[in-house]
Chain A
């Protein structure tokens, strides 16, 4: 894998390798695959974006990478390797979670423990997961709050989450993620539910921290705009499957999959005049009635008979570019 195409440059090391990961949820109509044969890699110093609409399986994917699935869902197949070790093995997961891969969740209102102060949430991480003791814990707590741009960190240690604003909570959330100096941060829609100005501050903060600390980031978003300002590469997810992967500038310049095209037309652009926002026709898929072919086929204007028979594989169409669409596979071979 060639990894990052911007920013740090140089050789990158393979950190996270997800192969054919499948997560199933039993329903009355049979098993629904929240994540379907997901494959992705994240290298060191790399910022990868995963984009898709609500219900496309992005959040399930984030947790599943840590080997976590909320019951009754379960991991039905595939592998997740961190520096070659199997994360789906509970012993490895215990080591990797938090310390190597830390997750930032989408709702900072409810993702912090309501009954613990900021200080005690940082303290338990630093003591139990990092192994700090005594005054070093307080020193490091203050340092972390300072890093995420919280003023008067000494006072904030005594605050409960409900006493903080949304932006502050997300900063605290980021501080708890950084506590164990992870190598990869999975950020699951970290700006959802925040004011637009705050969203921008949080994204800038995450971007700067990842550059400063040399962390890789896996950014999960429903908004290509968020990913555009943040990531080196992007993967588009639809109905639990990756339908296209590309470097971020190429995705914007020349999207291949009809769904990516639709997503792109849904992003308001200030740098281009005219042009209407078109959105994507049709509804997000009813996951219980999965078509046997391409999941996007019912909403696709270019659908052919072939699309209804079997899901198109994700095939490489150029350097660092893959797409899962029969209509695009032919063009590059020609």
Chain B
């Protein structure tokens, strides 16, 4: 198990390295940070000065070496929009994004697992159809639209929660639901389908024939067998949250996270900052996948230690 874990961690670090190198290539080879960060009317002289200031007039190899050695000590370069270290800007915003994803994941899990089990328990009955209807609605609606809907109903009409910003736990609720509902819908459907399939398998029929109730068999026999798929799917959902949903929802709720920072950096043509934000988000995605692998290994002893 430890050897396997060490291997997975090395592989994860490699993935992060490759992703950041790709980002480097995109920002340094295919674009000119000096041009995009200066106004259109800037002269060639201005640009040359800017290139010298950014150190991008040197050979690419040297720049890449600087970039990599900077990575090792956590130096991701200077943001030319804010004139601060990019790593500092991103890390300041990181807790907000982590909180948001944690909230959205909690919403996802707390809704998906019980809904999936209920739907399977009452297969082809009212509860099953209700869960299906809710899931389809949640999956079909774009998260930003759900976000606005939640704001209008719960913040504007009812006034239960603030409309934007991150002031304590209460303000976390709406954006978490805005992101988590669609994920919960997908996951609930997958859970329901998995359990219904498992209930027809001989081991489940055996458990029922021993007199265990349908609910006991679902919770103690079949759910464990769909858990591996459940965890994998949850991992995908969390990944999508980091790379997509948070970016949109942080914007809708004016949430001071990495996603919104990335959007602002793109608007400001601040490629160093974009690069830092992508690096951090990519690391989070890789970490999520690592956690999923570990969890699957713990759930199912048959998972290969490859």
Contact = CB atoms under 8 A, between A and B. Distances in A.
A334 interface: no
B209 A114 contact: no
Interface stretch (A36-44, A92-100, A291-299, A302-310): A92-100
A128 interface: yes
Nearest to A66: B209
Contacts of B300: 115
A107 B220 contact: no
Interface in B269-306: 299-302
Contact of A113 (B123, B211, B221, B302): B221
A290 interface: no
B213 A113 contact: no
A110 B209 contact: no
Contact of A115 (B123, B124, B213, B224): B224
A105 interface: yes
A102 interface: yes
A128 B40 CA distance: 76
Contacts of A116: 221, 224
Given A63-B205, A111-B202, A102 B210 contact: yes
Given A124-B220, A180-B210, A70 B205 contact: yes
Interface in B22-69: none
Interface in A62-80: 63, 66, 68, 70-71
B51 to A, nearest CB: 60
A111 B123 contact: no
B145 interface: no
A105 B202 contact: yes
B202 A97 contact: no
Contacts of B299: 115
Counting chain B CB atoms within 10 Å of each CB, the highest count among A113, A114, A162 belongs to A113
Nearest to B204: A113
B129 interface: no
B203 A110 contact: yes
Q: Is the interface of A mostly helix, strand, loop or mixed?
A: mixed
B211 A99 contact: yes
A112 interface: yes
Determine the interface band of chain A, counting residues with CB < 8 A from chain B: 20 to 34
B207 A113 contact: yes
Nearest to A112: B203
Nearest to B299: A115
Contacts of B213: 94
B226 to A, nearest CB: 10
A160 B203 contact: no
A114 B203 contact: yes
Contacts of B201: 110
Contact of A128 (B200, B203, B216, B302): B216
A102 B212 CA distance: 12
Contacts of A94: 211, 213
Contacts of A107: 202
A111 B201 CA distance: 8
Contacts of B124: 71
B304 to A, nearest CB: 13
Contact of A68 (B202, B209, B220, B221): B209
Nearest to A102: B210
A129 interface: yes
Contacts of A113: 203, 206-207, 221, 224-225
Contacts of B200: 70
Interface in B200-252: 200-203, 205-213, 216, 220-221, 224-225
Contact of A162 (B202, B206, B216, B302): B302
A113 to B, nearest CB: 5
Counting chain B CB atoms within 10 Å of each CB, the highest count among A70, A99, A115, A162 belongs to A115
Given A71-B123, A97-B211, A112 B225 contact: no
A224 to B, nearest CB: 25
Contacts of B221: 113, 116
Nearest to B227: A115
Contacts of A160: 301-302
A87 B155 CA distance: 55
A97 B210 CA distance: 5
A66 B201 CA distance: 17
Contacts of B216: 128
Nearest to B301: A160
B202 to A, nearest CB: 4
B203 A98 contact: no
A98 B209 contact: yes
A116 B205 CA distance: 15
Contact of B210 (A70, A71, A125, A162): A125
Contacts of A115: 224-225, 299-301
12 contacts: A68-B205, A98-B209, A98-B210, A98-B211, A112-B206, A113-B206, A114-B203, A114-B302, A115-B300, A115-B301, A124-B220, A180-B210
Q: Which 5 A-B pairs have the closest CB atoms?
A: A98-B211, A98-B210, A97-B211, A111-B202, A103-B209
